Structures are given as structure tokens and as C-alpha cells.
Chains A and B, each alone.
Chain A
Amino acid sequence: EAGVAQSPRYKIIEKRQSVAFWCNPISGHATLYWYQQILGQGPKLLIQFQNNGVVDDSQLPKDRFSAERLKGVDSTLKIQPAKLEDSAVYLCASSLATGVLWYGYTFGSGTRLTVV
């Protein structure tokens, strides 16, 4: 099966600019996650979608970050305006769940954002 696709792979922007990342999950995976991984740390959840609804966005800095998952498939994550501390790798993952069963995660290769 095709993996989780993310683009772009790299992005360099100046502070106060805006940026958007795109994720295409594995076909049929209802749950989609965006993680932020700052250099030297483990990934931290930003937002979790179930189909096109938000399950958890408690750690999303909503004053500058936004995310959507139209039609319950692709998702975009936007930062506006960017700050220096937003420099990180942004990972997208998807998973399949039916009822109470859950089958694991698949991660994309991430987007490395550098804010200068």
C-alpha cells in the first residue's frame, strides 16, 4: 500500500511569514495526526482528526496554527505568522480503527521547517 505522503519536504521562511504543509494519509485511514518534532526532542501531538472532525487540538497554538481536513482525506496545517521557535519537523501520521480495535500508525517522512 502507498504510504503517508507529505509535502513539501523542506521549507525555509522568514519570521512573520506564513507557511502550509500538506498530508495525504493512507487510503481508508480515518484518523490523522499532526506532530511537531523540535530538534533533540520527541514528537508532540498538535492535532488529531477523526474523519473531518477534530478529536484533540489541546496542544495546538491556535493564535498562529490552524489545520483542516476537508472531506476526511487530505489535511493541511498552516502557520501564520511563523516564529523562530516554530522551526521543527512536522510529521503527519494516520491510523485505522474499527470499533474498539486499533491497528497502528503509519508516519510520513515529515516537513522540515526552518524559520529565519
Chain B
Amino acid sequence: AQTVTQSQPEMSVQEAETVTLSCTYDTSENNYYLFWYKQPPSRQMILVIRQEAYKQQNATENRFSVNFQKAAKSFSLKISDSQLGDTAMYFCAFRHGGSQGNLIFGKGTKLSVKP
């Protein structure tokens, strides 16, 4: 069974600085997707970034980028120029490939951006 591990329960960063959130996963599959979701107090899960396992290039979305190390089964999220609005829970998630499948989440990292 697939598992997702986030080893940092809480992190903090000063506004405008850079922070990296860690995630490791375990799977025997070769075709899968990895995600980072943001969950603010409103509770809605917001997609931050998505990576297809077959793509060697790391995904980037504005200030958010990932370091995807397939062999090491590592998928870290880097947030550059942190903003107060980035304060939230961040969840790493795994989905196997194909048209059917559900998300398997880690336990989350609570990120606080300090002014």
C-alpha cells in the first residue's frame, strides 16, 4: 500500500524568505502523480502544485516549486518570497496513475509566515 510521510508537523518562516517542506512516499508503481495542497482555515483544499512521475522536470507555479527525486521517493515543496497569505496547513498527496484513483495524504505541515 502507498504511504505518504511528512516529517515536519510545524514550520515557520519570515515574510519574504524561502522555506522548504519535506515529503517522502512509498510505492512500487511507476506511473503516479504527486501533489501539494494548501488548506487554510476555510478548510477547502487548494491545489498548489502537481507533478507527474514520468516527467523528469520539476514542476513550478510562480513562487512554488518542487524537488522531485523519483529514485529517493522524495517530493519537497519550496516556497519563495513567502507571504502572510501562505500561512496554512500543507498536505503532500499521492495518486496512482490511470483514470480511477483517490488521493492518499500525509499528515500535513502547519506553516506560519511571520511578519
The answer, yes or no, to whether B68 is at the interface (CB within 8 Å) is no
The answer, yes or no, to whether B45 is at the interface (CB within 8 Å) is yes
What B residues does A21 contact at CB under 8 A? none
Q: What class of interface size applies to chain A in its complex with B?
A: 20 to 34
Pairwise interchain contact B91-A97, C-beta atoms closer than 8 A: no
The answer, yes or no, to whether B103 is at the interface (CB within 8 Å) is yes
What A residues does B98 contact at CB under 8 A? 100, 102
Q: What class of interface size applies to chain B in its complex with A?
A: 20 to 34
Mark contacts of A87-101 with chain B using CB atoms, 8 A cut-off: 1 yes-contact digit, 0 otherwise: 001010100011111
Contact flag A93-B99 (CB < 8 Å), given A42-B91, A42-B108, A43-B105: no
The answer, yes or no, to whether B28 is at the interface (CB within 8 Å) is no
Mark contacts of B82-115 with chain A using CB atoms, 8 A cut-off: 1 yes-contact digit, 0 otherwise: 0000000001010000111111111110000000
A8 to chain B, nearest CB (A): 13
The answer, yes or no, to whether B16 is at the interface (CB within 8 Å) is no
What A residues does B104 contact at CB under 8 A? 45
Residues 41 to 95 of chain A near chain B (Cβ within 8 Å):
41-45, 48, 50, 55-56, 89, 91, 93
The answer, yes or no, to whether B56 is at the interface (CB within 8 Å) is no
B110 to chain A, nearest CB (A): 9
Binding site for A on B (CB under 8 A): 4, 42-47, 50, 91, 93, 98-108
For this complex, 27 residue pairs linking A to B, each with C-beta atoms less than 8 Å apart, are A33-B102, A33-B103, A40-B107, A41-B107, A41-B108, A42-B4, A42-B93, A42-B106, A42-B108, A43-B105, A44-B105, A48-B100, A50-B100, A55-B100, A91-B43, A91-B45, A93-B45, A97-B99, A99-B99, A102-B98, A102-B99, A104-B50, A105-B45, A105-B47, A108-B44, A110-B43, A110-B44
